[in-house]
Structure 1
């Protein structure tokens, strides 16, 4: 039986996770952005909004694979959510913490392709301003935290690294799709 595949996009805010995911889904509708459970306020697009009680129930059942706090909210990757995303296609999970990658790779059985998306800090600032973020300063602090996270984990290995200032979203999507095709071929050989 062929193992389920999934994609983890890791990178700082405005590194292109949403844009590359859109390019992936336009190229092949089997790719589906995983909507993390979000407990808090603010942007709801791209998330499954939940309550603190729902999160506590998932934690009590052992169904929280990874959770983190950022921007005053809690974001969770939950087993039932990943199950549903995997049943619907190839989940594309956005993360900004190496610990989250490790928790997902170790905590959910799938053939995960881990992709590092990079852009300079000033590009994050420009992209954040262009899209009208009201919290650009917080996003720059998150960019700094992501850089520190990378520096703290020099042993982390990436299946693919993409500089989103040098590679267009469609090109990045093609590279990711090719990676998954190669990995699928390797598991059936």
Structure 2
């Protein structure tokens, strides 16, 4: 039996996580963004909206893999959600915290390919404003937090690093797909 493969895209806001995920899905429909459970308000597209009670139940059952709070919401990676995502194909999990990457890789058994997507702060600002975000200042604060997070974890190892100002989304998607194919080949060798 082949080991389950998943992708983690780590990076600051507007580094291209959504765009690269869309390019991966265009390349092969087996790739799909993991819809985190979101407890709070605001944008619901791309999330499974949940309640504080659901969050407590997951935690009590030991099925909460990682949770973080940002933009006055709580974002959850849960084992039942990952189980369903792996049944459907190759989940692409978006994260902006190294602790979240480590919690996922250590807390949910699969072959995770961990990809750092990066762009400079001014590019995050331009992209955020260009897509009409009403909270660009909060996204820049999150960019700063992501930079501090990286600096605090100099030992973090990335399977692939992509500067999204230098590589387009289709190129990044091809690099990620090639990485997964190489890892699957090495696992069967």
TM interval, shorter chain, is over 0.9
Equivalent residue runs for 1:32-51 within 5 Å: 32-51=32-51
Matched position secondary structure for 2:15: coil
Equivalent residue runs for 1:11-22 within 5 Å: 11-22=11-22
Q: In structure 1, list runs of 5 or more residues that go unmatched.
A: none
State the 4+ residue runs in structure 1 displaced beyond 6 angstroms.
Answer: none
Where does residue 25 of structure 2 map in the other structure?
Answer: 25
Where does residue 177 of structure 2 map in the other structure?
Answer: 177
How many residues end up aligned between the 2 structures? 189
2: CA distance, partners of 1:8 / 1:139: 20
1: CA distance, partners of 2:27 / 2:158: 23
Residue 132 of structure 1 and its aligned partner are, at CA, apart by 0.5
* CA distances 1:70-110 after superposition (whole Å, capped 9, x unpaired): 00000000000000000000000000000000000001010
Where does residue 113 of structure 1 map in the other structure?
Answer: 113
2: CA distance, partners of 1:100 / 1:42: 22
1: CA distance, partners of 2:138 / 2:120: 16
Where does residue 103 of structure 1 map in the other structure?
Answer: 103
1: CA distance, partners of 2:119 / 2:46: 22
Where does residue 5 of structure 2 map in the other structure?
Answer: 5
Residue 139 of structure 1 and its aligned partner are, at CA, apart by 0.1
Residue 172 of structure 1 and its aligned partner are, at CA, apart by 0.3
Q: CA RMSD in A?
A: 0.4
Where does residue 132 of structure 2 map in the other structure?
Answer: 132
Aligned: 1:187 with 2:153: no
Q: In structure 2, list runs of 5 or more residues that go unmatched.
A: none
Residue 2 of structure 1 and its aligned partner are, at CA, apart by 1.2
2: CA distance, partners of 1:11 / 1:102: 14
2: CA distance, partners of 1:129 / 1:46: 20
